[in-house]
Each structure stands twice: as structure tokens, then as C-alpha cells.
Amino acid sequence: MLCVEARYLSILWRGTDRLERPLVPARQWLAVEHALRDTLEPGPLPADHPVIVALLPEDKRRGFVVQYFHRTPVGDGPDIAKNLDALLSSLE
């Protein structure tokens, strides 16, 4: 799950209940923000897309398919990461 406005990025791997939050350097966030200025088209993102680079380590980028699924308003506030974690966990 990605929320650019909150600089939130988490992965919930299938078959687990643990969220993984990759560390995304500021420069990479800027690349993600720039890439997401326009609406993402349905379908898999290329392995070199900034979202994929932020999401997955290099050795996993070609082994997984990542695609745009849904966009929803999430609000803001001090609990945004907690709320996004709960939303991601509920998608199983």
C-alpha cells in the first residue's frame, strides 16, 4: 500500500500477518511523487518504475507483479499510518 501524501509505504506479504515498511530515502520519495503526478493506468508496473524501486529490493523486482489497484481518500492526522496499516491488514 502506498500513500504519497503521508509518505507511507507498506507491504503485507501473502500468508503473513506482519507488515513490512521499506525504508525509502527522501530522493526516492521525490521520484515516486513525480511518477504519481498523473493517474496510474491499470496493469503491471515495469520493474524500473519508481514505485517498484521504492517497494522492492533489486533482487525481487522482476519476480513480482505490482499494479495499481485502487485509489481512495484517506484523510490526515497523527494516526494516518496506523489507519493505513489497519486498512492494509483488512484487505486479505
CA 89 to CA 92: how far, in whole Å?
Answer: 6
User: Model confidence at 61, in pLDDT bands (50, 70, 90)?
Assistant: confident
More confident residue, 91 or 81: 81
The enclosing H or E element of 11 equals: strand 11-12
Average pLDDT over every residue of 58-76: 81
This prediction's pTM: 0.78
Which pLDDT belongs to residue 77?
A: 80
Question: H-type helices in the chain, by residue range?
Answer: 26-35, 50-55, 80-89
